[in-house]
Copies of this chain bind each other. A is one copy, B any other.
Amino acid sequence: MEYNYKKLSDLQTRINRLNHLKEVAFWDQATHMSEKGLNARSEAIAELSQIIHELECDPNNKKIIFDAENEDLSDTERANLVEIKRKFEITEVIPKELLKEKHLAASLCEHGWRKQRFNNDWKSFLENFKKVVTHSREEAKILSQKFKVSPYEALMDKYEPHLTEMFVDDLFGEIKSWLPNLLAKVVTKQANEPVIVTEGLFEIEKQKQLGLEAMEVLGFDFKAGRLDESIHPFCGGTPEDVRITTRYKNTEFLPALMGTIHETGHARYEQNLPSSLLDQPVGQARSMSIHESQSLFFEKHIGGHPRFIERIHPKILSNFGKQPATHLNNLKRLILKVKPSFIRVDADEITYPAHIILRYEIEKGLINGDVEAEDIPQLWDEKMEELLGISTKGEFCDGPMQDVHWPEGLFGYFPCYTLGALYAAQWKAMIQLEHSNFDDIVGKENLNLIFHWLDENIWKNASIKSTDKLTTDASHGSTLNVDHFKNHLETRYLSEF
């Protein structure tokens, strides 16, 4: 291996090892940590983060990267170098002071938000939130000047490299053009299809058992990961030992099951990244959109597929017994039930993009300076009326205060959710070209036919290809096309299953 490249790659290995410990600590914090352990945990993570930051920003890296660029590298090494350079440039340009202040403001805002949201107290929230916005704008401005993109693009770039507003505007504009109409049609259709809600207590232990059985069917490697509980479900840990979580309510079992299947999608991506590259940036998952495309593929195109419900129906019955609500047809209807509502995380597949488009439009304006924090509630109400036809006036808690992303200063992340849904629908369409019996596969055949496609086209590529290249290679030359998503929704929600 060439001298300078090796130096960089060794450094990445070290950073990766330290990040491993951060991931364990984060997972533990969400799943097992005791109440009184929080302060020490926060301090410990901050201490390690600082060490990692110093390794990442070492001013010597600049020259080493420059020299490595002139070395004789393999394609994968060169792709790795691109990722290393990108990370270095993003990290190095932000002053340490700003990073610290931003982190402090976000901590304060997020901490206050927990209570303020409960009290529907927008005014107190706004006070802290404005500081978060100020620091994020400052960060966006610095990155924007460095990378010659808009401030908002500079923030999106952290989650989806090279994503542009024009690209997202186009895609989301198309969705907006047909979504309200599709929604109306589906709601009308479903008005004639009564569903029975699940009744009685669904033992948590049995729900967990069912979740594990579904993970097994979906190929989760239990020697390289596990399932636990947390308030906010997530996929964490490391590729060698992926930690997914879900949350249970004993009054219904579908949300935890579908949540588990969603996280299983994230997990299989992580578990199938190329093992020889796991300690390098190029061996990591491509981006948040692509990650979300995997979780949504598993949740919507496998787990929520009416034929998959057939497949695991015996397991559902053996765990919970027969009741009107667990009849097969009723379960299918329950899973596909569409209803405009306030809360993004509870939204169905059709209204979900509306929640994202709304947030995208607001936060884009906020970071680019066209929107001020105090304008958000009014914009929120207008857009909820426009997209979903529901009024959220005065409902700050279940309106602009509902997500943790803004109090934490995570601007630029939201679009990835819906991009993920679009990519997932496109993968589904592409797999169908190869396997016209896709529905049968999901219903009763060997799911490995599907997983094999995902492995070949997504998982094993890690970050070796850009998102664009990954997409066109997987799509016979096509870029991301909203039609696949539209077709999927129309097929699933307007025809009979």
A44 contacts which of B20, B36, B228 (Cβ < 8 Å)? B20
Please tell me if the beta carbons of B48 and A18 are within 8 angstroms of each other in the complex. Answer: yes
Please tell me if the beta carbons of B18 and A241 are within 8 angstroms of each other in the complex. Answer: no
A49 shortest CB reach to chain B, Å: 11
Please tell me if the beta carbons of B226 and A35 are within 8 angstroms of each other in the complex. Answer: no
Tally chain A residues at the interface, Cβ within 8 Å. Answer: 38
Q: Which residues of B contact A43 (CB under 8 A)?
A: 17, 20
Question: At the interface, yes or no: A476 with Cβ under 8 Å from chain B?
Answer: no
A223-B34, A241-B33 in contact; A25/B21 too (CB < 8 A)? yes
Please tell me if the beta carbons of A21 and B34 are within 8 angstroms of each other in the complex. Answer: no
Q: Which residues of B contact A241 (CB under 8 A)?
A: 33-34, 36-37, 40-41
Question: At the interface, yes or no: A77 with Cβ under 8 Å from chain B?
Answer: no
Convert A23-62 into 0s and 1s, putting 1 for each residue whose CB lies closer than 8 angstroms to a CB of B: 0110110001111110111011111100100000000000
Q: Which residues of B contact A237 (CB under 8 A)?
A: 37
Question: At the interface, yes or no: A240 with Cβ under 8 Å from chain B?
Answer: yes
A240 contacts which of B40, B224, B278 (Cβ < 8 Å)? B40
Question: At the interface, yes or no: A180 with Cβ under 8 Å from chain B?
Answer: no
Question: At the interface, yes or no: A14 with Cβ under 8 Å from chain B?
Answer: yes
A20 contacts which of B34, B40, B228 (Cβ < 8 Å)? B40
A238 contacts which of B27, B40, B225 (Cβ < 8 Å)? B40
A21 contacts which of B48, B221, B222 (Cβ < 8 Å)? B48
Closest-by-CB residue of B relative to A239 is B40
- Chain A contact residues, CB within 8 Å of chain B: 14, 17-18, 20-22, 24-25, 27-28, 32-37, 39-41, 43-48, 51, 221-226, 228, 237-238, 240-241, 278
